[in-house]
Amino acid sequence: MRINMPVTQQENDSLREDELVCSKTNPKGIITYANAALCRISGFAEKELLGTPHNIMRHPDMPRMAYAWMWDTLNRGLLWQAMVKNRCKNGNHYWVDANVSRQYSRDGCIIGYLSTRRKPTHAQIAEAERLYASLRQAEGELEARGKMSAEVVMGLYQNSPLYQAR
Ligand SMILES: Cc1cc2nc3c(=O)[nH]c(=O)nc-3n(C[C@H](O)[C@H](O)[C@H](O)COP(=O)(O)O)c2cc1C
């Protein structure tokens, strides 16, 4: 998981309701197209985005599970629709209501992915903040439990005849 820092927790709310923020990637998630609205809101120049993995704009507040769910949905050939908090180049952020889908060639091969994003409502943002905070907490607890159980297992193992016999 890429962790882009720093973050300011300052929202860039300059997206207009009639604006569509678009990008395309190749099948590996490398950006092949970014529209002017994406460059403006993110603060990245087009040339900084093209050829770069899409996690360049990942905000650390996005739960890991959100992107696991995204790729799982896309791999099943379905459209992924979800709220995304993205990091701007300067550490600020913006929220979008994102739709990501596969793109196919005429002969049915997957040639990449397309994301179109709209400005969400304040209510959508508030709900996503709440949901993602609880997902992050759950992820933190699972990770802590994973570490704790590894330590416990190691302790038990080292005290056992299995270890002492080595
Ligand atoms: C078309 C498309 C658009 C994407 N848009 C974003 C985006 O706006 N922000 C983002 O963080 N990840 C986006 N991703 C997902 C990233 O490729 C990546 O899976 C995600 O940032 C998680 O990165 P990580 O593996 O470093 O945790 C997009 C992927 C695709 C295919």
Residues 136/63, Cβ–Cβ less than 8 Å: yes
Q: Whose CA is nearest to atom 2 of ligand 1?
A: 115
CATH class of 21-164: alpha beta
Atom of ligand 1 nearest to the CA of 24: 1
Token pair 């990449």 is at which residue?
A: 112
> How would you classify residue 29: left for phi > 0, otherwise alpha for psi between -120 and 50, otherwise beta?
left
Q: Whose CA is nearest to atom 14 of ligand 1?
A: 54
In angstroms, what is the span from residue 18 Cα to ligand 1's centroid? 23
Provide the whole-model pTM. Answer: 0.90
Q: What is the dihedral of CA 40, 41, 45, 50, to 10 degrees?
A: -120
Q: Where are the beta strands (DSSP E) in 56-123?
A: 80-87, 93-104, 110-118
Q: How many CA atoms lie within 13 A of 32 on its CB side?
A: 12
pLDDT digits (tens, 9 = 90+) for 120-159: 999 999 999 999 999 999 998 888 888 778 778 778 777 8
Sequential pLDDT tens for the chain (166 residues): 888 899 999 999 999 999 999 999 999 999 999 999 999 999 999 999 999 999 999 999 999 999 999 999 999 999 999 999 999 999 999 999 999 999 999 999 999 999 999 999 999 999 999 999 999 999 988 888 887 787 787 787 778 777 765 5
Residues with CB under 6 A from ligand 1: 1-2, 23, 25, 29, 54-55, 57-58, 67, 84, 86, 100, 113-115
CA 91 vs CA 71, 85, 95, 159: distances in Å? 25, 12, 13, 48
